[in-house]
Structure 1
Amino acid sequence: MFHRIRRRRAEEEIAGILRRHAEFEAQIVANQLPPQHPAQPATAAEAPTGPAPVVDDFLPPELRVPSHDQVEGRMMPWPWPIVLDDEVVACAECGTYRDWLIISTRGQVWLRCRAGHQQLETRLGTAWFNRHSGPSDATHATFEDCLRHLGH
């Protein structure tokens, strides 16, 4: 007896869902088609009455991110040692092997130690830099401003 009641309730729920779906579909079709006067023949395409309004959907300038051609280079801190070809990369002048600032500019990757020594690292490329860097959190007008921002 109870199985008949459950089956009837399930059938009523399914019928309600199908009815609501049909109503929703009818609303969508009604909103897409322009209303036609019964005496007017239906036309395939209506000509626009005027020019489309110009809408500025761009972000305001203070929220825009500069493109890659507007930026001289990118930097990221790298507090860990860098191991390339089974050897730890160390600064050529002071011997520091961790707490790097990695600079990507003009298709090259440079390493800068905390003491301010810079060296070109030919085994790293911009693809490596892009894979390991996160999104930029700030842009700076000068190299020194960026160094200050990153704590170097």
Structure 2
Amino acid sequence: MLRFIASLRDNSTVVSMNLREKIEELKNRDDEFGKLQLDVIRVLTIFNGILWKSEIIPDIMKIHGHVMDYLPTEKMLEKVLEQLKADRIIDVEVRERGMMLSRGVYKDKLIKLLNLGEAKAVLASDKVYREYLGRKMEMLRQALQRYEE
């Protein structure tokens, strides 16, 4: 039993090291595939480690203020998710999801970041991540200011 618990601890360290190394590697890449991988990690981190696949590309566009130097596609996103899952950065689960303004459901993929705390720590120095959070905080500050008036 103790060996099993020790193996879990070792496994979480490997995931953390992989995530830190992966993010640092992706920051230095200039290809679309690498940029999209980093953006997926960013949006998952911003939205507390979990997103539906169908929301990822619109959320990536939001964090960049709709000004991007590449165009993410669904096909490219699917490959990125496969790679991040293989790297043990994310988990992907097919789930049913309710349709807006309807009683129907459809299948979507729920994407989970495996180590949110580590991602936040590593991305704390990331310009895109910090600027997005700064814009959101400013919007909240302005909304509170208007509310108090």
Structure exhibiting the larger radius of gyration computed from Cα positions: 1
User: TM-score scaled by structure 1?
Assistant: 0.28
Q: Which has the higher helix share?
A: 2
Which of structures 1 and 2 has the larger relative contact order (alpha carbons within 8 angstroms, sep 6+)? 2
User: TM-score scaled by structure 2?
Assistant: 0.28
